[in-house]
């Protein structure tokens, strides 16, 4: 059988590229897997991790935060390696596909081994897989478009971002319930994200003949990157990257990190969520959330705030002064700082022996997510 020849440049069409549905489906399932795992990670370490002999080996909050920070740091450092691997040697498709297999192995290591060894192996493999594919996925979307249909690119990135937040929302509601339920526990709470990652990988593989495969640049790419011009371009962007890195390092505390630990000391009853009455934790006209479920506020708010800032807030501010990308990032960082003031206030109430309602954290999420809408969509 003759080897299939993959397209190496976008077709001259004015319609949507045929590979886009596979990319969007892959992204939704991959983000489901990542955020579902991450939403329960710190709760697992402090309440569920065991020794090899089956005895509790729960971590302190400080130790769990250390593991969590190391994992998140690796996820955000390894994209450098993934970008070099994709652009210089393997190309984006092979990099995404093979590292997705590593990613799957990490999920199942967590699901099948609830010890510290399983934790380290699982998180290490997930960091390699997730971090390695991170710079390739968005770039792969752009590769599918040519001059004749580039006007559709913004629409596709809108779907792309929606798929990220839809996957995140569903998994951060579901996985804490699986972890909390003794009939399911950590094995299924981590196993379901693993299954989702397998589905994501199969979906991506199924689109291989539809994708545009841009060939890697080899060592020429490496030489160009480290050339005087390449380093100069990087230097001009570094100030933006520094501020964006500060934002995401703070944002990560809200997604399965310190904010989740704080939620354990709060009153998690939400009387204005009767639509969750099907939940096993429902009470009256409201619902009592699990601590790890509070972070679902972020994907809900981001889907509401993106059109709000794009169509109402930005045009209103532009009437007084132009909103440059740096100004948007600056406002976003200011809002982020405001969200942490709310979190600090909540913590003072908890330390005083009170049990503040989760609506206070929802306020912090709303402020933080408004900042995210201004920083991440810039």
Structure tokens at 299: 């994907």
Answer whether residue 237 is part of any domain.
no
Are 182 and 255 in the same domain? no
| In the predicted structure, residue 258 carries a pLDDT above the cut 80 | yes
Answer whether residue 232 is part of any domain.
no
| In the predicted structure, residue 25 carries a pLDDT above the cut 90 | yes
Q: What is the pLDDT of residue 277?
A: 45
Are 37 and 158 in the same domain? yes
Q: What is the pLDDT of residue 285?
A: 62
Handedness of CA 134, 25, 177, 253 (dihedral sign): positive
Answer whether residue 3 is part of any domain.
no
> Which residue, chain included where needed, has tokens 């199969």?
202
Are 253 and 364 in the same domain? yes
Are 354 and 258 in the same domain? yes
Domain count, the chain: 2
357: helix, strand or coil:
strand
Phi, then psi, of 313 in degrees rounded to 5:
-70, -50
Are 124 and 220 in the same domain? yes
| In the predicted structure, residue 281 carries a pLDDT above the cut 60 | no
Are 131 and 174 in the same domain? yes
8 Å CB contact between 289 and 100: no
Answer whether residue 10 is part of any domain.
no
pLDDT tens digit sequence for 320-364: 888 888 888 889 999 999 999 999 999 999 999 999 999 999 999
Q: Which residue has the higher pLDDT, 3 or 159?
A: 159
Q: Give 4's DSSP letter.
A: P
Q: What is the pLDDT of residue 156?
A: 87
Q: What is the pLDDT of residue 282?
A: 47
pLDDT tens digit sequence for 265-278: 999 998 866 544 44
- CATH code, domain carrying 58: 1.20.1250.20
Answer whether residue 284 is part of any domain.
yes
Spatial CA neighbour of 72 closest among 24, 37, 109, 28: 37
Answer whether residue 126 is part of any domain.
yes
Handedness of CA 30, 108, 68, 290 (dihedral sign): positive
What's the mean pLDDT in 156-175? Answer: 91
Among 194, 226, 258, which residue terminates a domain?
226
Answer whether residue 1 is part of any domain.
no
**What pTM, to 2 d.p., does this model score?**
0.88
284 pLDDT tier (thresholds 50, 70, 90) = low
Are 166 and 282 in the same domain? no
Instruction: Give 122's contacts (C-beta < 8 A, 6+ positions apart).
Output: 106, 107, 108, 109, 110, 113, 190
Are 215 and 343 in the same domain? no
Instruction: Indicate the average pLDDT of the chain.
Output: 90
pLDDT tens digit sequence for 192-247: 999 999 999 999 999 999 999 999 988 776 677 677 776 777 777 777 777 777 88
Domain hosting 309: range is: 245-376
Answer whether residue 7 is part of any domain.
no
Instruction: Give 84's contacts (C-beta < 8 A, 6+ positions apart).
Output: 221, 222, 225
| In the predicted structure, residue 90 carries a pLDDT above the cut 80 | yes
Are 181 and 250 in the same domain? no
What's the mean pLDDT in 172-181? Answer: 95
135 pLDDT tier (thresholds 50, 70, 90) = very high
Are 158 and 272 in the same domain? no
Are 190 and 79 in the same domain? yes
Are 222 and 254 in the same domain? no
Among 226, 256, 273, which residue terminates a domain?
226
């Amino acid at each position: 059988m003759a080897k299939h020849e993959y397209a190496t440049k976008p077709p001259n069409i004015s319609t949507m590229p045929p590979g886009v549905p596979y990319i969007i489906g892959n992204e939704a399932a991959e983000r489901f897997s990542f955020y579902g795992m991450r939403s329960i990670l710190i709760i697992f370490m402090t309440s569920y991790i065991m020794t090899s002999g089956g005895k509790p080996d729960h971590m302190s909050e400080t130790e769990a935060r250390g593991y969590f920070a190391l994992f998140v740091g690796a996820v955000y450092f390894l994209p450098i390696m993934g970008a070099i691997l994709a652009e210089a040697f393997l190309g984006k498709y092979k990099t995404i596909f093979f590292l997705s297999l590593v990613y799957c192995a990490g999920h199942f290591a967590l699901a099948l081994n609830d010890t510290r060894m399983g934790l380290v192996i699982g998180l290490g493999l997930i960091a390699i897989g997730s971090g390695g594919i991170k710079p390739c996925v968005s770039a792969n979307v752009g590769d599918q478009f040519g001059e004749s249909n580039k006007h559709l690119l913004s629409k596709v990135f809108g779907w792309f971002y929606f798929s990220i937040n839809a996957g995140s929302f569903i998994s951060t509601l579901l996985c804490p319930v699986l972890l909390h339920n003794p009939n399911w526990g950590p094995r299924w709470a981590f196993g379901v994200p693993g299954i989702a990652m397998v589905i994501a990988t199969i979906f991506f593989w199924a689109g291989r003949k539809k994708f545009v495969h841009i060939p890697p640049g080899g060592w020429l790419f490496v030489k160009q990157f480290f050339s005087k011009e390449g380093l100069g371009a990087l230097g001009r962007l570094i100030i933006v990257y520094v501020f964006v890195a500060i934002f995401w390092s703070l944002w990560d505390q809200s997604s399965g990190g310190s904010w989740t630990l704080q939620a354990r000391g709060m009153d998690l009853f939400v009387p204005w969520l009767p639509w969750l009455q099907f939940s096993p934790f429902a009470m009256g006209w409201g619902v009592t959330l699990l601590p790890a479920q509070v972070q679902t506020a972020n994907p809900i708010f981001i889907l509401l705030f993106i059109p709000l800032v794009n169509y109402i807030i930005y045009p209103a501010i532009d009437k007084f002064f132009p909103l440059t990308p740096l100004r948007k990032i600056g406002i976003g960082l200011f809002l982020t700082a405001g969200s942490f003031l709310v979190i600090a206030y909540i913590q003072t109430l908890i330390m005083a022996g009170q049990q503040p309602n989760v609506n206070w954290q929802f306020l912090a999420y709303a402020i933080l997510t408004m900042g995210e809408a201004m920083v991440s969509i810039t």
